[in-house]
A and B are shown apart, each in its own frame.
Chain A
Amino acid sequence: MQSEDYKIEELQRLLLQEDRDTTNALKQELEDLKLLIETEKELDGKVGPIITKYLNLYTEDIPEKLGPTITKTLKNEIEKSKDTIVDALYPIIGKLIKRYIQKEFQKLSDKINYQVNHRFSLKSIARKLKSIFTGVKEEDIIISELSDTQIQEVFVVEKNSGILKGSFSKTNTIDKEVLSGMLTAIKSFVEDALKTGDEQLETIEYGLYNIYIQNFKTYYIAVVLHGVFDSTFKEKLEEDLLTFSQKHYKASKSRVEISESLKDMFS
């Protein structure tokens, strides 16, 4: 005969077995976790890759997420500490400018010495004669000769459409056709916006560069120059461009021919 205790125990087993199993499983998982946390090496193996992954993601996102904040902070700091920054940079920039000016003066001095030492040369006599006939002072002509103005690019552009008719360039920068279009758009915009009647845009300046524009009836010639662009140089350039227009542009039938003529004349 089964005792009362056995019956109760059997009843408990039937009713609570599932809970007991769950409790035991939880206990085991808790033990495993405890072991994982307490054993540094185990924890490192599990958590390390996750931290590395997020660290890598964070590093990639730094320019995007923190960039604006860093830039703003830097701007604020610079704004606040202008004097300190100027004090720190002034001697360095000052030295650089001083060295540059000294070098340029040295070059100018060498060139003037050369001109003076060759004052009885044919070129010198020609300069004196030019001075007498044009009325331009000889020293101005010397300075003009020393200024080393360089023609970088020349564009012949159809006036209304902005279509490139021919070009000469010492550098291969951006697309010449797009450039001539943009130049025409700028020119048209200025002339249209200011409603200047027959007046036309003649020069555009940027830094050490000048764009000189010589307008003709159906086209214009834009010359990109580097260096001093004074009246003497302008006068000579105008003459050259008129010669090009009369002798070469009318005779040239294609863009290639116009470009070849420009190269012969300005290279």
Chain B
Amino acid sequence: MSISKKIVLLGHYGVGKTSIIRQFVTNEFSSDYKVTIGVHILKKEVLIKDELISLILWDIEGTDHINQISQAYLLGSHAFVFTYDISRPATYKNLLDQIDGLRNAFPNTLFKIIGNKLDLISEVNIDSDAYKSIIEKTDYLTSAKTGENIEPLFNDLALEFSK
């Protein structure tokens, strides 16, 4: 028997939400940036302990603030994956406050914070206060380009769903 779970990727424009999903579902990466309009949905099945879990991945268009996202897209989600770009501080400043607001509205949903573009780590000021505070709360550092930590992120989510 299989179960289906809805995972919504959230974050600023150009942080790599679409690339992360593409890397996970089709093992592909393209450096051509195409902005997501509205929502795009993809699916990947993961086998966890003889149980097939369908991960329905909602790739939502980037926004500057979580409040700008259509609430209807968030309803019924089993997990939120907040994505920021480690090389662009604007994508993670104030993110934690926004996430706290959403946690209250969705108490039964899993929350994950990921810092994407790990391949650009050399360009990051790792001593800045903003980076230090976000990295403390970050669950995974990923690279959609190299595929680093993408599979573990979704496999761990699937594992948590199967519990």
Contacts and interface: CB of A to CB of B under 8 A. Distances in A.
Interface of A: 158-164, 175, 177-178, 181-182, 185, 188-189, 191-193, 254-255
Contacts of A178: 41-43, 56
B39 to A, nearest CB: 5
Contacts of B5: 163
A182 B6 CA distance: 12
Nearest to B5: A163
28 contacts: A158-B76, A160-B75, A160-B76, A161-B75, A161-B77, A162-B76, A175-B43, A178-B42, A178-B43, A178-B56, A181-B41, A182-B39, A182-B41, A185-B38, A185-B39, A185-B41, A185-B58, A185-B73, A188-B70, A188-B72, A189-B38, A189-B39, A189-B70, A189-B72, A191-B72, A192-B70, A192-B71, A254-B1
A192 B77 contact: no
A160 B105 CA distance: 14
Contacts of A158: 76
Nearest to A256: B1
B78 interface: yes
Interface of B: 1-2, 4-6, 38-39, 41-43, 54, 56, 58, 70-73, 75-78
A145 B125 CA distance: 72
B76 A177 contact: no
Contact of B78 (A161, A164, A175): A161
Nearest to A191: B72
B58 A177 contact: no
A254 to B, nearest CB: 7
A211 B89 CA distance: 45
Contacts of B72: 188-189, 191-192
Contacts of A192: 70-72
A198 to B, nearest CB: 14
A177 B43 contact: yes
Contact of A163 (B1, B6, B39, B73): B6
A191 B42 CA distance: 22
Contacts of A162: 6, 41, 56, 76
A188 B55 CA distance: 20
B161 to A, nearest CB: 12
Nearest to A165: B4
B107 to A, nearest CB: 15
Q: Which of B58, B76, B78 has the most CB of A within 10 A?
A: B76
Nearest to A192: B72
B43 to A, nearest CB: 5
A163 B43 CA distance: 11
Contacts of B58: 181, 185
Given A181-B56, A254-B1, A161 B41 contact: no
Contacts of A181: 6, 41, 43, 56, 58
A193 B38 CA distance: 12
Contacts of B4: 163-164, 177
